[in-house]
Structure 1
């Protein structure tokens, strides 16, 4: 099938009353799933598996993202908060298990192994980044690079099946889109000064700020007005917009080099939300 209906297919696994009533789920990984589907649909060998692989990958990613929302400790004693945390753990496990069920029913044992290995890689990369962040050994560039790697790693598990035509193109295009997606998310993240901690902007200020400014970032109860002042001083929003615009241009150049008109058209379509966002009037810090 050429029509992209993976989000609708996934609803049979995600739209359970208990989950919806007691906890929030992360955003469906539509961009990377749509990207995977577009490449697989153009493959002679894997065209018929495009929906199965894309659905399985999206559920695994949703499971990983759901687990990321779980708080590190259960300090919240309220019954409602505790139930939400428990359901996040269970929901993440459930979504992750569905890929095994779907692929095993289809006899896709090799792909199960590929995705299982990718899950291990993603968790290892997350722990590595978390450890470096705790030790304050991360630069803004490190943070962006490693976050993009984490976001794209699961879908890189399909690199072998892309070898038929897109052995080099798939990883490059996937990571290019993932970088745009990360920058897009970072821009929205810093709309509130309370969300700065741990973001790209946090590591940028930590890297370039004065000793006193770094102390403000680590305050037990940060002064949001002062944090907002720091964000303006170091032009965090402007820099993120500029990086997104630069990477969108680079992405368009990569897409334009492909030899499939159909795939090129679909990839430009997938990138449209970024272009619409950049075309909107925006208020940036004075430079």
Structure 2
């Protein structure tokens, strides 16, 4: 398996999600649904690693992708003032995608998936609300909230199909990628709501944003190298793909 096969698998998966939520007017004004390819990659890791992956798992994974699209649309509009036609339609897009995943779930009759995703959405939203309300939390607690926002829906999907052993890698990888994205935009002066609350907690602990975030990134990369190296259930080519996805070097980190 090579990078091209993995990228093609993600592209095909994304197309299947788009097919389930296609709406001409929404596409005209808001474009295609926002789908983070990092989420899609980690959703597909068990499949790419050769786990049993029947049509039920495929359809369930697509549903998780639709949920991410709905939540991304709502999160995007909350960062702005919903005054323009495009922004108002973005709100409607989030509602439309939400309706689609409820419809897909109802038609599937997959009670386990309905239960797990409902719990996952509720928990993810609880942590997202903490960001909008700028709730007082320690830096470590904010890292936990970010991890939940990024990966808890995948965790619920993996729990349903007995893929839980992948989660430590997925949680650390998605937290790492989100922190790198927050740090990068922060350097450009584009401070997100998440970076604002993080910076506030860091300052209360007498730290600096750059130092704390960079230190956490280095820590996560070292932990990931160890986790991936010790994961006997992973095929060698998947290990290499996981290393590459978070841009860690086994030699440089261990050396």
Higher helix share: 2
Deviations 1:14-37 (A, max 9, x none): 664533443367741322222222
C-alpha distance in 1 between matches for 2:42 and 2:80: 35
Candidates 51, 72, 76, aligned match of 1:43: 51
Q: Deviations over 1:62-117 (max 9, x none)?
A: 111111122378574xxxx1x22321221112222222333443332321222122
Partners of 1:28 and 1:269 in 2: CA distance: 20
Q: Which structure 1 segments of 5+ residues have no match?
A: 210-233, 278-287
Name the counterpart of 1:224.
none
Query: Rg larger in 1 or in 2?
Result: 1
What's 1:217 paired with?
A: none
Instruction: Name the TM-score, length of structure 2 as normaliser.
Output: 0.77
The separation in 2 between residues aligned to 1:154 and 1:25, in whole angstroms, is 21
Tell me by how many angstroms 1:183 deviates.
Answer: 1.2
Q: Is the contact made by 1:60 and 1:96 (CA closer than 8 Å) also made in structure 2?
A: yes
225, 237, 253: which one pairs with 1:265?
Answer: 237
Q: CA deviation at 1:261?
A: 4.3
Show the 5 A alignment for 1:205-220. 205-208=203-206
**Residues 190-245 of structure 1: CA deviation (Å, up to 9, x unaligned):** 02325166413453234327xxxxxxxxxxxxxxxxxxxxxxxx4x4454334223
Per the alignment, in what secondary structure is the counterpart of residue 158 of structure 1? helix
Per the alignment, residue 219 of structure 2 pairs with: 246
Q: 1:250 to 1:72 in 2, by over 3 A?
A: closer
Q: Which residue of 2 aligns with 1:88?
A: 90
Matched-pair contact (CA < 8 Å) for 1:196–1:202: no
- Aligned to 2:231, the other structure's residue is in SS state coil
8 Å contact from structure 1 (residues 40, 162) kept in 2: no
Which whole-Å CA distance do the structure 2 matches of 1:243 and 1:67 have between them? 28
The 3-state SS of whatever aligns with 1:119 is helix
Equivalent runs, 1:137-156 vs 2, <5 Å = 137-156=136-155
Stretches of structure 2 that go unaligned for 5 or more consecutive residues are: 250-255
The residue number in structure 1 matching 2:14 is 7
Cα distance in 1 for partners of 2:182, 2:37 equals: 17
Separation in structure 2 between the aligned mates of residue 71 and residue 243 of structure 1, nearest angstrom: 27
Assess, with a 3 A threshold, how the Cα gap between structure 1 residues 58 and 206 changes in structure 2: closer, same or farther: same
Residue 238 and residue 17 in structure 1: after superposition, are their counterparts in 2 closer, same or farther (change >3 A)?
farther
CA contact (8 A) 1:64 1:92 kept: yes
Q: 1-side partners of 2:185 and 2:200: how far apart?
A: 11
Cα distance in 2 for residues equivalent to 1:27 and 1:271: 25
Q: Determine helix, strand or coil for the equivalent of 1:138.
A: coil
In the TM superposition, what is the alpha-carbon distance from 1:275 to its structure 2 partner?
Answer: 0.9
Structure 2 vs 1, CA of residues 119 and 259 (structure 1 numbering), >3 Å: closer, same or farther?
same
TM-score when scaled to structure 1? 0.70
Between Structure 1 and Structure 2, how many residues are aligned?
Answer: 239
User: Are 1:157 and 2:156 counterparts?
Assistant: yes
**What's the RMSD between the two structures over aligned residues?**
3.2
Matching residue of 1:102: 104
SS of match in other structure, 1:195: coil
Q: CA deviation at 1:149?
A: 1.6
